[in-house]
Structure 1
């Protein structure tokens, strides 16, 4: 009887150990998959030396992605004037999703609605999974997310992933810019325009000290003149 009980306990422990091992392997596999590098890594450069603040990018974004009035996926913010008349100038900067490689919004989302697309590295939102908890809005250090009043889900720039990009086109803002102040492309392609521009120009990124590794770069304007 004692031997039977011992064999039973031994078999049960082996079964539990096997199950635990399988669970651990599955967890490690899922973790590794989540951390896997995307095959493409899209980034955007806003050249402030070329931006004239026309806001054609804002209009194109709204129309292409059906963004309701009262909210915006991107904004061009104006500061200034600087200098003395008649040599005054303004600065124009872009405010939109930074498409962080280590995105706080993704890390806090309880439903998986906020995610990084494995194929492109684009930080995206699955509106069907979003419950409107606004954790991502609170976590974003760049304060660019909002609740879409139509879908009632979190929303933001996704580089036109489901619209223009899905059709093989450039993001709407890039295509609409009359001064070519926006450059979009694959950081993993050494021959891409975005890589070439980054090599040729000093750039800045916002709040890099947070370790978010943003993929929105700025060529900072030193004057109000448009370099075209």
Structure 2
């Protein structure tokens, strides 16, 4: 079964927020709400007792993790939150009653209530664009070519993920080891977005 997801090279992310702006524009996300955010993790000491300038940090793009076993789907009383055949987690607005159970169940705080429409919204992995063979907007507009999109089930080594300039993880990224691949904290939901981080301490979960 397919599972469309992202691989994000954190060593390439410059924190420019282009993914955030592009997402809000193409998906008409309301002011004050976000489908993705870019967090700064750190600064943290590079070694015990270190002080500035011996510190390090990285930027962490955060959005719906399109989990393999999503908690939001489990608690949805109407079936509005559901998983598509491509593995992405979606919200059927025609079924959503705005109860916000899914918001409370999400381990990553990446859902919000659209108060004007009375429904919950979140990252859709640009389902409408992917269906037409177009990359998610946050991928195609990534200035640092840090985001890659593809089917994790088809190639678990991430080598076929396409980035903003028709490239792949293998072509665009510096070499990385399996120990450099990270995921946000797993509470039994199986987050699918993979983060590559080399030579820095991962602080995002497992």
TM over 0.5: yes
Q: 1:77 aligns to what SS in structure 2?
A: strand
Instruction: Look at both structures and tell me which one has the larger radius of gyration over its CA atoms.
Output: 1
- Whether the aligned pair in 2 keeps the contact of 1:68 and 1:150 (CA below 8 Å) is no
Q: Which residue in 1 is equivalent to 2:105?
A: 139
1:131-167 deviation digits (Å, cap 9, x = unpaired): 00001011111111111233221111110012x2122
Establish whether residue 189 from structure 1 lines up as the match of residue 141 from structure 2: no
Q: Which residue in 2 is equivalent to 1:212?
A: 189
Establish whether residue 113 from structure 1 lines up as the match of residue 80 from structure 2: yes
Higher percent of residues as helix: 1
Q: Which residue in 1 is equivalent to 2:64?
A: 97
User: How many residues in Structure 1 have an aligned counterpart in Structure 2?
Assistant: 182
User: For structure 2, which runs of at least 5 residues remain unmatched after alignment?
Assistant: 46-50, 163-167, 201-206
4+ residue runs of structure 1 moved beyond 6 angstroms?
none
- Written as runs of structure 1 = structure 2, the 5 A alignment for 1:61-210 is 61-82=23-44, 89-118=56-85, 120-162=86-128, 164-190=129-155, 192-193=160-161, 201=177, 202-208=180-186, 210=187
Higher percent of residues as strand: 2
> What TM-score comes out, normalization by structure 1 length?
0.72
Once the 2 structures are TM-superposed, how far is the Cα of residue 115 of structure 1 from its aligned partner?
0.2
Q: 1:107 aligns to what SS in structure 2?
A: helix
- Whether the aligned pair in 2 keeps the contact of 1:68 and 1:149 (CA below 8 Å) is no
Q: 2:182 aligns to what SS in structure 1?
A: coil
> What TM-score comes out, normalization by structure 2 length?
0.80
1:25-55 deviation digits (Å, cap 9, x = unpaired): xxxxxxxxxxxxx4x2111112110000000
Once the 2 structures are TM-superposed, how far is the Cα of residue 89 of structure 1 from its aligned partner?
4.4
